[in-house]
Amino acid sequence: MQAPDTDNRYVRIAVMFLLSLTVFAGACATAIHWLAPVHRTMDLIIPPAATVLFGGLIVALIRRPRWVIGIARIALAAGALALAAPAWLYTLQATLTPGVQLIDLLPPVSSLFVVFLVMLMIFIPGRLAFFAAALCWALVALPVLAYLLLHPLELWSPRGSDLMMAYGPVSILVVVLLPVQRGLASKIRRLASERQRMEVMLHRDPLTGVQSRLLGERMLREALAEAAPAGVIMLDLDRFKSINDTYGHPVGDRVLQAVASGCKELLRENECISRWGGEEFLVIVPNVDAPGLQQVAERLRSAIARLPVAPVRQVTASFGTTLIRPGDTLDTVLQRADQALYRAKELGGNRVEAGPVAGAGSTHSSG
């Protein structure tokens, strides 16, 4: 039986708080009963016994914090006994003794029973909680309710109605609503972790492990929205189809993985690479000018050309670069990078071509 949230220190704090409250209530009840003009045996036994027992549980919890769930369950079992004993004893006494009323005899424990049920539904997991709640209800509430139903005069007194409400509808509400709340909370937790997993999947390209196009687009939009200068590099492997055709698709996949991780290693933390399409990647370089962007692209180009991906003899890529200009949109910036890339391909591949700088011609370099 797996306890919920065993390591949660909030559970320990809650249990410690409740045990301390019970000790305090037990000590008060002990004092009140000793000072009362009439001494009833049960009242003289249960409160001090509960005070000592729950005090011992506090010490145990301090010494063995990891036993919190076990300690809470012992406290629940003791609580059930402490609530059931007066319920049965005073019900029997009121039934058997003419002129004696249960509403006068029963100590004010109906609200304690509701708190007890809440704790029970929290600390007993799954369906067992319902069985335990039904058992405790039969032990504590049933004799009192049966008595009240057989004694309508007491039932319709303020104390009788109060007992009826606490042991009847309120108890049922607690037992039904708490698991519903618990189920909803765990469903929300499951959905949140599922959403996180989906987000990771959406943001990572499953084959190469670099960012997905979705995340690349988002980062490009962010770069466009920022005032700081930034550049974009579009790179496309040369004659990749022939690598697939010659060596097979799995080798093609390995080439894509090697290119992606080779580029990633060369890029700084604030520079990001995403897989744009089949054998096409987009790099965003923040805080860069035209020569700097050219340098980054050139570094990537020569690194790819040196990549060892046996049995492929050499892998090369073509590059189109462009700086982001004021007023650019996603389409305009991608269009310029694409045009530069197209030019690099046209010129034989394995080269870097820069998109037109505003008011200037294009530049290029090749291996």
Ligand X SMILES: Nc1nc2c(ncn2[C@@H]2O[C@H](COP(=O)(O)OP(=O)(O)OP(=O)(O)O)[C@@H](O)[C@H]2O)c(=O)[nH]1
Whether the CB-CB separation of 71 and 61 falls below 8 Å is answered with yes
Residue nearer to ligand X on the CB measure, 130 or 247 = 247
* Paired strand residues for 204: 211
If one asks whether residue 151 binds ligand X (CB under 6 A), the answer comes out as no
Residue nearer to ligand X on the CB measure, 107 or 320 = 320
If one asks whether residue 237 binds ligand X (CB under 6 A), the answer comes out as yes
If one asks whether residue 244 binds ligand X (CB under 6 A), the answer comes out as yes
Tell me which of 82, 155, 256, 296 binds ligand X, using CB under 6 A. 256
If one asks whether residue 346 binds ligand X (CB under 6 A), the answer comes out as no
Closest among 215, 225, 226, 231 to 300, alpha carbons compared: 231
Q: Minimum distance between the CB of residue 336 and ligand X, rounded to whole angstroms?
A: 18
Tell me which of 192, 200, 207, 347 binds ligand X, using CB under 6 A. 207
If one asks whether residue 47 binds ligand X (CB under 6 A), the answer comes out as no
d(CA 365, CA 225): 30
If one asks whether residue 367 binds ligand X (CB under 6 A), the answer comes out as no
d(CA 219, CA 284): 8
Tell me which of 278, 308, 348, 356 binds ligand X, using CB under 6 A. 278
Q: In angstroms, what CA-CA distances link 258 with 88, 111, 157, 270, 283?
A: 77, 68, 83, 21, 16
If one asks whether residue 40 binds ligand X (CB under 6 A), the answer comes out as no
> What interhelical angle do 9-35 and 41-63 show, nearest 10?
150
**Which pair of tokens denotes residue 137?**
């209800």
If one asks whether residue 240 binds ligand X (CB under 6 A), the answer comes out as yes
Catalytic (active site) residue 279? yes
Q: Minimum distance between the CB of residue 242 and ligand X, rounded to whole angstroms?
A: 6
d(CA 330, CA 286): 15
Tell me which of 43, 154, 238, 328 binds ligand X, using CB under 6 A. 238
Contacts 24+ apart (CB under 8 A), 168-177: 168/141, 170/114, 171/113, 171/114, 171/117, 171/137, 171/141, 174/114, 174/117, 174/118, 174/121, 175/117, 175/121, 175/130, 175/133, 175/137
If one asks whether residue 304 binds ligand X (CB under 6 A), the answer comes out as no
Q: Minimum distance between the CB of residue 314 and ligand X, rounded to whole angstroms?
A: 13
> Which one from 279, 280, 346, 353 is the annotated catalytic residue?
279
If one asks whether residue 143 binds ligand X (CB under 6 A), the answer comes out as no
Q: Minimum distance between the CB of residue 198 and ligand X, rounded to whole angstroms?
A: 21
Residue nearer to ligand X on the CB measure, 181 or 246 = 246
Binding mask 161-190 vs ligand X (x if CB under 6 A, - otherwise)?
------------------------------
**Which pair of tokens denotes residue 287?**
């805080």
Q: Minimum distance between the CB of residue 335 and ligand X, rounded to whole angstroms?
A: 18
If one asks whether residue 264 binds ligand X (CB under 6 A), the answer comes out as no
Residue nearer to ligand X on the CB measure, 108 or 248 = 248
Q: Minimum distance between the CB of residue 249 and ligand X, rounded to whole angstroms?
A: 4
Instruction: Candidates 37-45, 49-57, 120-128, 235-243: pick the segment binding ligand X (CB under 6 A).
Output: 235-243
# chain residues binding ligand X, by CB under 6 A: 15
Enumerate binding residues for ligand X (CB under 6 A). Answer: 207, 236-241, 244, 249, 252-253, 256, 278-279, 345
Active site members: 279
